Amino acid sequence: MLSVRWLFFRKRLGPLPGGYIKQLLSRVEGWLSYHEALYLYALAAAGPAEGKIVEIGSWKGKSTVILAKGSKQGRREEVYAIDPHKGGPDQEAHGHKDVDSEMEFRNNVRQEQVADQVRPMVMRSDEAATGWSGPVRLLWIDGDHSYEAVRQDFLLWEPFVAPGGVIAFHDTYAWEGPRRVVEEMVLVSRKFAVIGLVDSITAVKKLSGAEPLVLLRSYCLLFARYLYKLGRRHVLPGDLRKLSKAVMKWLSSVG
């Protein structure tokens, strides 16, 4: 995370609150690694472009709180947290049947003191997109993980992302849906450059013009990702997989 830390110092926002984030991760149920949480926080605090932050898939508010804390620290935009809070096949696969996560979500947001920074939208992402207007500078896609749903989230919400804004996808290796959407529709598109590969997050920037350095880093990240994926398939030794993962983190930035 060197480059993210460096950017933080440069922007004089203070160091990343690693201690708080570790405690939050153990307090609020959900699925985020420590480095993923740090990275989301940095994107929310210091990411490029202007506009709202939109989260698709809040569950009990783990990533919502991280995004809101980061955005608050950077004195930036509110987080629109979209989730019908009825669970679904992904949650059932994790043993959560017939859940209603709304109350815990609201309690967590309140207890972590970010209620003023979060706008809950208790509905499906396609319903939310229908009534949406205005630019989004950070779109966090972590809702229904089926291929069709992730594809729909991307197609419906990408047009709202401001030039220079960021789309971050979760679970982009082990989950077929997000991985295929990222590989088939995003990484191959000349509209986007990869800016962050942090654990299972893939973050891309919507290019707003010629950005040769951003593109150069994107190609380096993509090469490291290629090696990492060979390592995951045991085509390359495990040490090389670990090294490529560390390189991806090191090259990751917020803009």
Interface residues toward ligand SAM, by CB under 6 A: 30-32, 56-59, 62-63, 82-85, 87-88, 90-91, 101, 124-125, 142-144
Rounded to the nearest whole angstrom, what is the least distance from the CB of residue 90 to ligand SAM in the complex? 6
| Contact present, 119 and 78 (Cβ < 8 Å) | yes
> In this chain, which residue has its C-beta nearest to ligand SAM?
30
C-beta of 77 vs 144, nearer to ligand SAM: 144
Torsions phi, psi for 196 (to 5 deg): -150, 130
Query: Which run of H or of E encompasses 206?
Result: strand 201-206
Question: Among residues 52 and 62, whose Cβ is nearest to ligand SAM?
Answer: 62
CB of 61 to ligand SAM, least distance (A): 7
What are the CA-CA distances from residue 212 to residues 10, 180, 205, 226 (Å)?
21, 26, 13, 21
Residue 39, helix vs strand vs coil = helix
Least distance (Å) between residue 158 CB and ligand SAM: 15
Q: Which is nearer to ligand SAM, 60 or 225 (CB)?
A: 60
Q: What are φ and ψ of residue 170, in 5° steps?
A: -100, 155
The encoded tokens of residue 106 equal 């609201």
Report the residue number, 132 or 164, with the smaller CB distance to ligand SAM. Answer: 132
Nearest-approach distance from CB 124 to ligand SAM, in angstroms: 4
Q: Which two tokens stand for residue 195?
A: 């800016």
